[in-house]
């Protein structure tokens, strides 16, 4: 089925162009025309993939979220509990070039989601997935004896989720919190407090 393969491949190329444009040049610069140019495709053919402006940020956010989760899965091999939680945080915090770029998609996504129920639902579903993962890691940590806090797992998960979300804006916009060192120290101390 070569047609199906082409279609999937095209979709992947479009998503890659969309998130990179938003990350590197801002949401305003990520027009249909700019995406079409970036991948050498006719402007009109893109309309099938992007019926409206918010569909661009939707595709970009989905790409970023899936990439993050894929990297976490790849790095998890053999790790569980506290070690897994550490990998998870490391791939989300804007501490490297890639995660910094990814956060530059997250901030405009949030702003657009405020007035778009579909984007809001996508965010809710994404956070539910992360919440579940964090709780799994915490449970493994309790079994291993690396998590012993009296705070219930669902509350710890909410705290960590809030912290990781907050670091997206702090790291990109606040020079003082922006360094990788400060971010790592912030999260590492939190994970340490769970012992």
Return residues touching a copy of itself (CB under 8 A).
26-27, 104, 107-108, 110-111, 113-115, 120, 123-124, 127-128, 131, 149, 151, 155-156, 158-159, 161-170, 172-177, 182, 185-186, 189-190, 192-193
**Cα 2 to the center of its chain, rounded Å:** 31
- By the 8 A CB rule, do 88 and 160 touch? no
- Nearest residue (CB) to a copy of itself, 1 versus 115: 115
What letters, b where the CB count within 10 A reaches 16 and e where it falls short, cover 84-99?
bbbbbbbbbbbbeeeb
Residue placing its CB nearer to a copy of itself in the complex, 74 or 188: 188
Contact 168, 107 (CB under 8 A): yes
Q: At its nearest, how many Å lie between a copy of itself and the CB of residue 96?
A: 18
Question: 97-113 and 53-76 helices cross at what angle (nearest 10)?
Answer: 140
Smallest separation, CB 147 to a copy of itself (Å):
13
In terms of Cα–Cα distance, which of 183, 193, 46, 76 is closest to 136?
Answer: 76
Of the two residues 2 and 117, which places its CB atom closer to a copy of itself in the complex?
Answer: 117
Residue closer to a copy of itself by CB (options 17, 164) is: 164
**Least separation, in Å, of the C-beta of 83 and a copy of itself?**
21
């Amino acid at each position: 089925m070569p047609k199906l393969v082409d279609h999937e491949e095209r979709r992947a190329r479009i998503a890659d162009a969309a998130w990179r444009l938003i990350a590197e040049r801002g949401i305003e610069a990520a027009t249909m025309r700019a995406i079409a140019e970036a991948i050498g495709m006719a402007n009109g053919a893109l309309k099938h993939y992007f019926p409206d402006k918010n569909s661009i940020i939707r595709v970009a956010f989905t790409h970023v979220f899936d990439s993050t989760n894929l990297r976490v899965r790849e790095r998890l091999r053999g790790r569980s509990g506290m070690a897994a939680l550490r990998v998870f945080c490391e791939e989300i915090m804007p501490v490297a070039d890639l995660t910094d770029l990814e956060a530059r998609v997250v901030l405009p996504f949030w702003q657009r989601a405020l007035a778009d129920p579909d984007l809001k639902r996508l965010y809710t579903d994404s956070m539910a997935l992360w919440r579940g993962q964090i709780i799994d890691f915490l449970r493994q940590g309790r079994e291993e004896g690396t998590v012993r806090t009296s705070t219930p797992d669902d509350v710890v998960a909410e705290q960590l989720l809030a912290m990781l979300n907050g670091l997206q804006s702090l790291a990109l916009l606040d020079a003082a919190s922006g360094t990788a060192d400060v971010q790592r120290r912030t999260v590492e101390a939190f994970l340490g407090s769970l012992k």
